[in-house]
């Protein structure tokens, strides 16, 4: 966090003193383990001492919703730990995951900037700690800090690029190739190197993978079986290993 941002973070803490949320706590941005991957990291370091201003945070257990589709956007959420899926409900009753994000991600930015309702539901796929940054303070912060505004624009551009890339794959590639591409992409952001390959440690089951691809679980199972047959993956319950081919 930077000094101008930390001013509003301090004000945010005061705003939330009277709010009683179950399992609410207060965290310090400067000591957050995800700070190096956050857009707030390193802003105007000459006033870094202000990072100790506590901000409200809340623990979300796996499967709980952080915010809902069509709910008014009242805050921006900074993911301190855990992983979250952002999904929309399809007309056929199946969810479609637009993004899967990890520590350091900022959720709800677009909706706050547009002063619109959330167009996706954010759900914890692991136990998460989330810092809550009210809309008014966040908007003031980006007005004060050109560097933060640029970082917000970059994040939104990266998210749009990822969604467009996956849409292009859905149109142009067979499912087994789309699945392989998805697993490789997830390994970049959620993979854990192991002696025998890369373990995909995002706590993803077949339901989440099918929602990321926009297909039925039956179709996903066929694609997984094809990759297993080729020796490209090894599967266990909610766990996938991409073996080292060397």
pLDDT tens-digit map of 24-54: 566 666 667 776 777 777 665 543 444 456 6
Q: Are the beta carbons of 13 and 56 closer than 8 angstroms?
A: yes
Look at residues 199, 202, 200, 220 and name the one whose alpha carbon lies nearest to residue 210. Answer: 220
Look at residues 83, 165, 172 and name the one whose alpha carbon lies nearest to residue 123. Answer: 83
Count of CA atoms in the C-beta half-sphere (13 A) of 30: 14
Q: Tokens at residue 137, please?
A: 């303070």
Residue with token string 């589709």: 69
Rounded distance, CA 135 to CA 108, Å? Answer: 10
Q: Collect all residues with Cβ–Cβ distance below 8 Å to 119 and sequence separation of at least 6.
A: 69, 70, 88, 111
Q: What is the pLDDT of residue 21?
A: 39
- Inter-CA distances, 32 with 5, 6, 109, 200, Å: 15, 14, 20, 24
> pLDDT tens digits for 51-85?
456 678 899 999 999 999 999 999 999 999 999 99
Would you call 201 helix, strand, or coil by DSSP? coil
β-sheet bridge partners, residue 28:
54
> pLDDT tens digits for 187-243?
887 788 888 888 886 667 788 888 888 888 899 999 999 999 988 888 877 678 888
Count of CA atoms in the C-beta half-sphere (13 A) of 17: 7
Q: What is the pLDDT of residue 245?
A: 61
Element (H, E) at 159: helix 146-172
Would you call 236 helix, strand, or coil by DSSP? strand
């Amino acid at each position: 966090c930077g000094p101008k941002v930390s001013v509003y973070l301090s004000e945010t803490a005061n705003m939330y003193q009277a709010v009683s949320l179950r399992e609410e706590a207060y965290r310090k941005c400067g000591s957050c383990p995800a700070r190096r991957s956050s857009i707030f990291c390193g802003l105007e370091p000459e006033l870094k001492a202000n990072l100790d201003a506590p901000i409200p945070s809340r623990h979300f257990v796996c499967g709980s919703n952080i915010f809902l589709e069509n709910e008014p956007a009242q805050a921006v959420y900074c993911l301190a730990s855990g992983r979250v899926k952002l999904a929309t409900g399809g007309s056929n009753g199946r969810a479609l995951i637009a993004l899967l994000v990890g520590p350091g991600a900022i959720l709800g930015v677009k909706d706050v900037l547009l002063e619109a309702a959330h167009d996706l539901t954010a759900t914890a796929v692991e136990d998460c700690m989330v810092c809550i940054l009210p809309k008014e303070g966040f908007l003031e912060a980006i007005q004060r800090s050109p560097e933060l505004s640029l970082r917000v624009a970059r994040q939104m551009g990266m998210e749009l690029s990822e969604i467009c890339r996956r849409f292009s794959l859905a149109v142009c590639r067979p499912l087994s190739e789309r699945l392989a591409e998805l697993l490789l992409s997830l390994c970049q952001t959620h993979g854990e190197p192991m002696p025998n390959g890369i373990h995909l440690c995002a706590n993803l089951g077949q339901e989440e993978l099918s929602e990321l691809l926009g297909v039925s679980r039956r179709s996903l199972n066929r694609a997984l079986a094809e990759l297993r047959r080729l020796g490209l993956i090894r599967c266990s319950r909610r766990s996938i290993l991409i073996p080292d081919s060397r």
